[in-house]
Amino acid sequence: MAQEERVALIVGASSGMGRATARAYAEAGMRVALAARSAEQLEELAEEIGRGAVALPCDVTVPTSVEQMVDRVIKTCGSLDILVYATGTNIPDRSLEVLSGETWEMMMATNLSGAFYATQAVLPQMRKQGRGLIIYLSTGAVQSPDASGVSYQASKHGITGLAHGTFVEERENGIRTSIIFPGLCDTPLVLKRPTPTPPEIMEKALQPQDVAEACLFVASLPDRTCVPELQLLPSML
The per-residue pLDDT for range 145-158, each reduced to its tens digit, is 888 889 999 999 99
Q: Give the model confidence (pLDDT) of 60-107 as tens digits.
A: 999 999 999 999 999 999 999 999 999 988 888 888 898 899 999 999
In the prediction, which pLDDT does 91 show? 82
CB contact set of 225 (below 8 Å; sequence gap of 6+): none
pLDDT over 80 (residue 213): yes
In the prediction, which pLDDT does 120 show? 98
Residues 140 and 132 sit within 8 Å (Cβ to Cβ): no
pLDDT over 90 (residue 195): no
In the prediction, which pLDDT does 4 show? 64
Going by C-alpha positions, the residue among 108, 114, 103 that lies closest to residue 69 is: 114
Least confident segment among 89-103, 109-123, 199-213: 89-103
pTM as predicted: 0.94
Domain boundaries, the chain: 3-232
Q: Give the model confidence (pLDDT) of 224-233 as tens digits.
A: 999 999 999 9
* CATH code of the region 3-232: 3.40.50.720
State the average pLDDT over residues 102-122.
Answer: 96
Q: What distances in angstroms separate CA 214 from CA 61, 101, 160, one per listed residue?
A: 26, 35, 17
